[in-house]
Amino acid sequence: MARELDRFSRGGDLVAVLGDWTAGEGPLYRKLADAVARAVDEGALAAGRRLPSERELARLLAVSRATVVAAYEELEARELLERKQGSGTRISDVARAVPADGRVSGGRAAATFQRLIDGPGSVISLACAADAGVPEVAEALEEVARYDLPGLLGDPGYQVRGLPALREAVADYYTGQGLPTSPDEVMITNGAHQALVLLSEVYLRGAATVAVEAPSWQPCLDVFRDAGAGVVPVPLDDEGIDERRLAAVLAEHRPSVLYVMPTFHNPAGVLMSDRRRRRVAELAARHDVAVIEDNAYAGCILAREDAPEIPAPLSAYLPAGVESVVVESLKAVWGGLRIGWIRGPRGLLQRCARRKALADLGGPLIEQAIAARLFPRLPEIVKTGSVERAERCDQAERLITEHLPGWTWRTPDGGSSLWLALPERDADVFAQIALRHGVEVIPGSTMDPTGAHDNYLRLPFMQEPQVLDELVRRLADAWGDLVRHGPGEEEPRARTIV
């Protein structure tokens, strides 16, 4: 993928740009032509971009070749395509030049980010695995308004490192987990995502390389790609990142950073064992690689009798001299609170603070005051949420067992989703069939560049029970159509979503 011009010739990235192209009324070919035209108008497809062949695009979109032929003819009539023998199909030179559309070159998280931008829409989207907010947020808001607001208003309001009371609460939180921490080793961010953006800006300048788990969550991978870093995948097993493959990658590629999700990996739901954490710590020390430990899902526990005990953070296992940071958030409380943080060395946080000041001059203090009020209640919030989380997970597993026999998965140790394997089918193709049944699926190919999980998809189960029922019913209908008709059929046509 050295040349940007070749990016869409493979097809997969074009599918991500098209998004929910089957929505609305009209024949499929016209909706496809309109989606390509929108992408041109927005700057996602610039003049000269080569598009996939008719046969390849038909395979990727799970439609007949006739649909793609008709769409290309429609676009050619609009003077948006040029088709020449021997040089393929390209966006016409008459396509107007527009600024960059904001997507990450070579990234695979376009659908996830676009869903956040557009909102839920008419489909049931599997792009986001987030819980509804807990009632304690409202209680903490009332307390802040009553007791904390006068003091907050007396401050100019620019706290780049974060509200001192919240930094102290986070420091106590890690000290209680066996990782002694002082408030000046904590910086508050606008969610865990901003923490990763800041760390990538600090760590990944130049021709840097990041070792990551495969699979991994694609927005995180896009953050690294956007910083210009190369990504080297390392497979997972039931204990976490594969230690033998990790040793080989560290020795061969000498990455600048090792990025891992040891506590309830997203999307696999794996909890890295105590033994594996010790081994990873040994390898990081031996190869002198900085470690970014992303525990954004640490509070997403499943209340089960056989639930594994959560070890101390990976950073607690690392010997002195190995640079490491922990990234975490209040995702288990409410993603809309947008409270995350970095726990790390003072010097590193100083560099991150400069980048944060450039980005936003500091986060909102009222939200941070709410978070500080919530921290003492966090154990009870997590405990209560873990019961509901286990119930929703059990419901999802029952529904899939009943309606989608043959689909397989490993019951997660924690987290908010199931990592499902489809039998002998490409999840990218199934995603297109599912769209026409009103479900937006994020296929495994976006989460693992090796291709080892092309038949996987992530199913977030923290939906309302009736939505989960409807979700699995639609997936089962889509699966039935794929099995009966194959990926290249014109039918099923777009259906009305109620």
* Cα 321 from Cα 367, distance rounded (Å): 35
Beta-bridge partners for 186: 343
> At 283, which amino acid appears?
L
Beta-bridge partners for 211: 232, 258
What domains are defined for the chain?
A: 11-100 (1.10.10.10), 124-132+382-485 (3.90.1150.10), 135-379 (3.40.640.10)
* Cα 85 from Cα 89, distance rounded (Å): 9
Q: What is the DSSP string of 398-417?
A: HHHHHHSTT-EE---SBSSE
Q: In the prediction, which pLDDT does 121 show? A: 64
pTM value is: 0.86
Q: In the prediction, which pLDDT does 415 show? A: 95
pLDDT in tens, the chain (498 residues): 332 323 333 556 788 788 888 877 889 999 999 999 988 888 888 888 889 999 989 988 989 999 999 999 999 999 999 887 777 899 998 766 555 555 555 555 555 555 555 655 678 989 887 788 999 999 999 999 999 999 999 989 999 999 999 999 999 999 999 999 999 999 999 999 999 999 999 999 777 999 999 999 988 999 999 999 999 999 999 999 999 999 999 999 999 999 999 999 999 999 999 999 999 999 999 999 999 999 999 999 999 988 889 999 999 999 988 999 999 999 999 999 999 999 999 999 999 999 999 999 999 999 999 999 999 999 999 999 999 999 999 999 999 999 999 999 999 999 999 999 999 878 999 999 999 999 999 899 999 989 999 999 999 999 999 999 999 999 999 999 998 877 654 443 433 333
Distant-in-sequence, close-in-space partners of 441: CB < 8 Å, separation ≥ 6: 126, 427, 430, 431, 434, 435, 457, 475
Cis-peptide, bond into residue 215, ω within 30° of zero? yes
Beta-bridge partners for 328: 341
